[in-house]
Amino acid sequence: MKKSQIGFLFILPWVIGFIIFTVFPIIAALYIAMTDWSIIGQASFIGFQNFRAIFADPTFYKALLVTGRYAILAIPLTIITALLVALGVNNDYKGIGIFRTIFYMPSIVSGVAVAIVFKWILDPTYGVLNSLLRLFGLTGPDWLYDPAWVLPSYLIMAIWGASGGLYIYLAALRDIPRELYEGATIDGAGWLQKIRYITLPMLTPILFYNLVMGIISAFRKFTDAYILGGAGEEGVFYMVYLYQQAFSFYKMGYATALAWILFVIILGLTLVVNYTKKYWVYAERK
């Protein structure tokens, strides 16, 4: 067999997989979104009716609000937390490896386990957090059981998990040329100035990357929201809403239309962020 034939044979499994599990579902999703497909019975083509129904559904806007609000607050909070942690452990002090290891752990541990543990840490009556507040004479809120405190509860979890993004920042910090700092020292710059004028600008490509990833993961938030929920409708994140429509009410067409809207939102935000790139992201001149 010729080299090129062997090569084609080797990529064939991926090509088949790509067609079955990527190309076909996208095309199918276009069609399903335009039908009234439920899990049983016949599906009929209804055009844009699903989209019209979605835009008339207050629950949709509520889910969008819950998710969007969370994204706006959680993304900067996690980026800042991860950056601070990375700056803190970016040195050769004794035992720093242990710090790095433990700070990284939230990103490897299953979301299910984290959700279950926080469910009890945030428990209004027995939870560790409120017990701690009581020690200081404070009465803690009902967290996930009080509509006003659902969002802060999810933000606490987001901040706790943020240090897991550590290594990406560490790698970027390592890549900053040492001469820049040396030059700045000679010019009499303090550490705050070095961070402001050297570290942050040099980190902008990684901040950009994390911003995009943050948008995607905030809008896809599901596991902990599904397990923990939240008082009122405050815990119904977009993906939870989509899941309920598809697998509790079996409205497959409606849920697929929701998936398309989510896709457009994520894509749109990514494009907007990408457009702003040239104003704030440092690009090495080639």
Partner 1 sequence: MKMPLIYLVLTTGLFLSIFPYLWMVLSSFKVSGEIFTRFWPSKLTLSNYAFILQGGTGQERNFVGSIVNSLIITIIPTISVVFFGMLTAYALRRLKVRGYRYFENIIIYQMLFPGVLFLIPLFLMMRDWGMINNYSGMILRYLIDPWAIFIYIQFFKTIPESLLEAARIDGASEIKIITRIMLPLSKTTTAIVILFTFMARWGEFLWPLIVNKNYDKMPLSVLLALFTKGEYKTYPGVQMAGATLLTLPIVVLFLVFRRYFEEGISFTGLKG
Q: Which of residues 149-188 bind partner 1 (CB under 8 A)?
A: 160, 163-164, 167-168, 170-171, 174
H helix runs in 40-104, sequence order: 49-55, 58-89, 96-104
Q: Based on CB atoms, which residue is closest to partner 1, 148 or 264?
A: 264
C-alpha to C-alpha distance for 105 and 166, rounded to whole angstroms: 10
Question: Binding residue for partner 1 (CB under 8 A) from 44, 45, 80, 131?
Answer: 131
- Which residues, numbered 111-130, are part of the site for partner 1 (CB under 8 A)? 111-121, 126-128
Contact status: 249 vs partner 1 (CB under 8 A): no
Question: Binding residue for partner 1 (CB under 8 A) from 62, 69, 194, 220?
Answer: 220
Question: Binding residue for partner 1 (CB under 8 A) from 48, 209, 280, 282?
Answer: 209
Q: In 3-state terms, what secondary structure has residue 251?
A: strand
Contact status: 227 vs partner 1 (CB under 8 A): yes
Least Å distance between CB 101 and partner 1? 6
- Which residues, numbered 68-97, are part of the site for partner 1 (CB under 8 A)? 85, 88-89, 91, 93
H helix runs in the chain, sequence order: 3-18, 24-32, 49-55, 58-89, 96-104, 111-121, 128-135, 147-162, 166-174, 178-186, 191-194, 200-219, 223-228, 238-243, 252-280
Beta bridge partner(s), residue 251: 38
Q: Based on CB atoms, which residue is closest to partner 1, 10 or 279?
A: 10
